[in-house]
Amino acid sequence: MYDIIIIGCGTAGMTAAIYARRSGKSVLLLEAESIGGQVAVTPKVENFPGFGEISGSELADKLLDHATSLGADIELEKVTSIKKLGDRHFSVTGEYNSYECKAVIIASGAKPRHINVEGEDELVGNGVSYCAVCDGAFFKNEDVALIGDANTALIYTLQLSSLCRKVYLLTLFDRFFGEQELVDAVKQKSNVEIHHNLALTKFIKDGDSLAGLEMLNKESGDIETYAVKGCFISIGQVPDNKAFADIVNLDEKGYIIADESCCTSTEGIFVAGDCRTKKIRQLTTAASDGAIAALAANSYIDRVVRPVV
Ligand SMILES: Cc1cc2nc3c(=O)[nH]c(=O)nc-3n(C[C@H](O)[C@H](O)[C@H](O)COP(=O)(O)OP(=O)(O)OC[C@H]3O[C@@H](n4cnc5c(N)ncnc54)[C@H](O)[C@@H]3O)c2cc1C
């Protein structure tokens, strides 16, 4: 039995592992997809204190080295449920195995929001992507579109502009919502064409692959066509906490309800990072939550679980 199982190997989960190990607790990290979470697909981080500028993958590697060098175990496993085992323990079940522990920290982060236009799911891998860092290179010297208007969309546009022949930056509203510095950098790129105030009406296909986009110009009412082989969608994040809905309370958007204490509605289950209710979802707040959740889990085990075992 582990003292603490942490679900999600992103910034929040790995920070929680560092704090939990340094408190002397045994720790298992369970990761569904790839170690690092969102930071691993961030080209450049410039606001993580102490680093000035660092690539996201390097920061993810450093977090991983730190957590594992302190003795945290890691398994690649998507968690599908958490159940209570009596009053004081939990069983955490994944696709392959079940594990037992005294406390759980959910750090399952967030995933890209889908645009929900017909054909989207079938085109993923055939032209539609949510990650320019992961898939941009597949469209080298091609024309692509980026749908979005905030920081991630702007970062992805810059990334794509250095790989692709042309990038159509298509926004859903009449302005950008990202940092001015990024907006200025995008506007300086000669191969980026910006079009505002659009709505995606159709993915145009050639066989199984993407061939273009039909967009409604909300101002003129015209349908505009963009011939692109790649379409990157960057319209925000959504949590994926369905597996935990029967054990902790979620809000109407699916975030796990918790305040700065990182305690959930269930004693012994804590939450950290982008998957919880909060206003600011950033690396620093994910790391902060990881520390708070781990120390809360540590104190819960010492105070509540140990005396009765
Ligand atoms: C392109 C991009 C650029 C960004 N740039 C910056 C920036 O410059 N500065 C900044 O401060 N923030 C930035 N952010 C935001 C920042 O990356 C996130 O706020 C932060 O990484 C959240 O960390 P997290 O650990 O909460 O979640 P995540 O990083 O999302 O990690 C959650 C992990 O949990 C795993 N998981 C989910 N469900 C399960 C399950 N059921 N079982 C097992 N594992 C599961 C996921 O696979 C994932 O690895 C950026 C985000 C993106 C997408």
CATH number for the domain spanning 99: value is 3.50.50.60
User: What separation in Å is there between the alpha carbon of 93 and the centre of ligand 1?
Assistant: 22
Residues 141, 67, single domain; the answer is no
Residues 173, 154, single domain; the answer is yes
> What is the overall mean pLDDT for the chain?
94
* 28, 39, 63, 133: residue to mutate for ligand 1 pocket, most atoms within 8 A of CB: 39
> Is position 289 annotated as part of the catalytic site?
no
List, in sequence order, every residue forming a beta bridge with 31; answer none if it has no partner.
76
Q: Which residue has the tokens 């009765």?
A: 308
Question: What's the mean pLDDT in 132-160?
Answer: 93
Residues 106, 241, single domain; the answer is yes
Would you state the structure tokens that stand for residue 283, as one six-digit string?
């690396």
Residue 180 main-chain phi, psi, to 5 deg: -60, -35
Q: At what angle do helices 151-161 and 180-187 cross, to 10 degrees?
A: 30
Residues 206, 295, single domain; the answer is no
Last residue of a domain, one of 202, 233, 264: 233
pLDDT 10s digits, 49-66: 999 899 999 999 999 999
Last residue of a domain, one of 193, 218, 233: 233
pLDDT 10s digits, 148-196: 999 989 999 999 999 999 999 999 999 999 999 999 999 999 999 999 9
Burial pattern 72-88, b for ≥16 Cβ within 10 A else e, equals: bebeebebeebeeeeeb
Residue of 3, 9, 135, 149 marked catalytic: 135
> Is position 131 annotated as part of the catalytic site?
yes
pLDDT at residue 279 in the model: 87
CA distances from 84 to 7, 62, 103, 189, 269 (A): 16, 34, 10, 54, 10
Would you state the structure tokens that stand for residue 24, as one six-digit string?
């002397």
Taking the CA of residue 131 as reference, the ligand 1 atom at the shortest distance is 1
Question: What's the mean pLDDT in 250-263?
Answer: 95
pLDDT at residue 307 in the model: 59
For residue 252, pLDDT over 90 is answered with yes
Alpha-carbon distance of 282 to 285, in angstroms, equals 5
Q: Which domain holds residue 157?
A: 120-233
Kindly list the protein residues whose Cβ atom lies closer than 6 A to any atom of ligand 1: 7-13, 30-33, 37-39, 41-42, 45, 47, 78-79, 107-110, 152, 155, 240, 243, 273-274, 281-284, 286
Would you state the structure tokens that stand for residue 304, as one six-digit string?
């509540």
pLDDT at residue 73 in the model: 97
The amino acid that residue 167 corresponds to is: V
Residues 83, 6, single domain; the answer is yes
Q: What is the total count of domains within the chain?
A: 2
Alpha-carbon distance of 266 to 84, in angstroms, equals 10
CA dihedral (294, 298, 303, 307) positive or negative:
positive
Residues 107, 158, single domain; the answer is no
Residues 229, 125, single domain; the answer is yes
pLDDT at residue 74 in the model: 97
pLDDT at residue 42 in the model: 80
pLDDT at residue 217 in the model: 96
pLDDT 10s digits, 63-114: 999 999 999 999 999 999 999 998 889 999 999 999 999 999 999 999 999 9
For residue 309, pLDDT over 50 is answered with no
Residues 212, 271, single domain; the answer is no
Contact present, 132 and 156 (Cβ < 8 Å): yes
Last residue of a domain, one of 177, 200, 233: 233
* 38, 44, 78: residue to mutate for ligand 1 pocket, most atoms within 8 A of CB: 38
Considering the entire predicted model, what is its pTM?
0.86
Q: Which residue has the tokens 């929001």?
A: 113
Residues 78, 159, single domain; the answer is no
Residues 58, 124, single domain; the answer is no
Residue of 9, 101, 131, 231 marked catalytic: 131
Taking the CA of residue 47 as reference, the ligand 1 atom at the shortest distance is 9
CA distances from 10 to 4, 35, 234, 291 (A): 16, 7, 19, 13
* 41, 158, 283, 289: residue to mutate for ligand 1 pocket, most atoms within 8 A of CB: 283
Residues 25, 105, single domain; the answer is yes
Q: Which of 154, 104, 147 is nearest to 296 (CA)?
A: 104
